């Protein structure tokens, strides 16, 4: 069914942009790319996150803060210092907006080597552009449902639209809530980080939070033989295509 196919494509392409470009590249610099490819992935991320586009610069600052202050009161998105999921994400939104709008200056240690393209982000982050993406999703659903001629409860499909509108923040909410609340731990990181799944098919490796907090410079978020990070082989393929260059870990 065309709507389900579109939903799955939007979910996983948007999620890949988040884990590959925003997280592993912008926040951790686990690999390098030239200016052309960096700008390509700025645009690619905007295309797939659409109405919920997240600034690579602001994302990187918040994520570096998250590692430095994991599960303390200074963590920008810890479920252990929030009343509920919505309270956690509202706090995150307020902090994120401060950095997006350059109203707050980050600590110097969080501001090193940030990917920036201000002229592009003024367009991508514009409320009219975000609204246009939302209208486009809605029109697509109206068209798809009309040609499908589904009987009875086809109107229930419209219930998926809010997920499209808020795809980026929803991904962040799942990772930061579940990844610090549910699962198992391979390491004692002195925080509440967990590995929620052994094969993270749902969030493309982002739910290996316990592994990642212990080994933040490891490109493969899976650490044990039985764990699978689906994003890792794709990133290795991008290196083989000479789109990125993976940094080598320094030996202790």
Q: pLDDT tens, 218-250?
A: 999 999 999 999 999 999 999 999 999 999 876
Helices (H) and strands (E) in the chain, counts: 10, 2
Helical (H) or strand (E) element with 32: strand 31-32
* Residue 252 confidence class, pLDDT cut points 50, 70, 90: very low
H or E element that contains 135: helix 127-148
pLDDT tens for 133-144 read 999 999 999 898
User: Which residue ranges make up each domain of the chain?
Assistant: 2-246
Buried b (16+ CB within 10 A) or exposed e, 212-239: bbbbeebbbbbbeeebbbbbbeebeebe
Is residue 87 over pLDDT 50? yes
User: Which residues partner with 184 through β-bridges?
Assistant: 195
Nearby residues of 102 by Cβ (< 8 Å), 6 or more positions away: none
Tell me what the mean pLDDT of segment 103-125 comes to.
94
Q: Phi first, then psi: what are they for 208, rounded to 5°?
A: -90, 55
pLDDT in tens, 37-59: 999 999 999 999 999 999 999 99
Q: Are 32 and 244 in contact (CB under 8 A)?
A: yes
């Amino acid at each position: 069914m065309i709507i389900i196919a579109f939903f799955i494509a939007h979910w996983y392409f948007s999620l890949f942009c988040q884990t590959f470009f925003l997280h592993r590249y912008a926040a951790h610099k686990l690999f390098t790319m030239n200016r052309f490819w960096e700008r390509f992935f700025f645009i690619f991320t905007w295309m797939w996150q659409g109405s919920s586009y997240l600034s690579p610069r602001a994302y990187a600052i918040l994520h570096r803060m998250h590692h430095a202050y994991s599960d303390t009161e200074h963590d920008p998105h810890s479920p252990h210092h929030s009343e509920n999921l919505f309270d956690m994400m509202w706090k995150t939104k307020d902090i994120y907006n401060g950095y997006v709008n350059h109203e707050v200056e980050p600590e110097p240690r969080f501001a090193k080597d940030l990917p920036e393209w201000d002229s592009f982000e003024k367009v991508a982050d514009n409320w009219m552009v975000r609204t246009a993406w939302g209208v486009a999703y809605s029109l697509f659903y109206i068209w798809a449902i009309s040609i499908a001629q589904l009987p009875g409860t086809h109107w229930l499909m419209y219930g998926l639209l809010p997920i499209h509108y808020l795809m980026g923040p929803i991904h962040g909410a799942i990772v930061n809530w579940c990844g610090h609340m549910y699962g198992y731990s391979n390491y004692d990181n002195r925080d509440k980080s967990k590995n929620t799944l052994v094969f993270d098919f749902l969030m493309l490796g982002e739910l290996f939070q316990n592994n990642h907090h212990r080994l933040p410079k490891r490109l493969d978020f899976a650490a044990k033989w039985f764990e699978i990070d689906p994003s890792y082989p794709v990133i290795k393929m991008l290196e083989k295509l000479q789109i990125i260059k993976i940094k080598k870990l320094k030996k202790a």
